[in-house]
Amino acid sequence: MEKMGIEALLALDRFNVDEKVPHIEIDDTACLNCKTKPCLFICPAKCYAEDGEKIRFDYAGCLECGTCRLACRQLGNGGVVQWEYPRATFGVSFRYA
Ligand code: SF4
């Protein structure tokens, strides 16, 4: 059996995105002044991206690992102002090959 790469494994997961209540919110102002921006490198789902000076964030593909919350507080500028698990029935469903 051939080993699957991380991208292929992530593509197996399913997401029920809560369009009304984001489970993670960021403060763009704090991100603007952040020198390290660890979110850009640490998120396994690549939910964070640079958009000029700003940080663009999309929680739709979030794996709910919590890494950005810790990294932002410890290494960044505290731009992640809310981090909760999605409401019941929403969020990621992990599937395995
Ligand atoms: Fe990315 Fe994990 Fe943060 Fe979700 S919880 S945005 S997957 S680092």
Does residue 67's CB lie within 6 angstroms of at least one atom of ligand 1? Answer: yes
What is the greatest pairwise CA distance in the chain?
Answer: 48
Residue 57 CA, closest ligand 1 atom number: 6
Percentage above 70 pLDDT, the chain: 99
Alpha-carbon dihedral sign for residues 36, 77, 6, 51: negative
Does residue 43's CB lie within 6 angstroms of at least one atom of ligand 1? Answer: yes
Mean pLDDT across the chain: 95
Is residue 47 predicted with pLDDT exceeding 90?
yes
**φ, ψ of residue 34 in degrees (nearest 5):** -80, 125
Read off the pTM.
Answer: 0.90
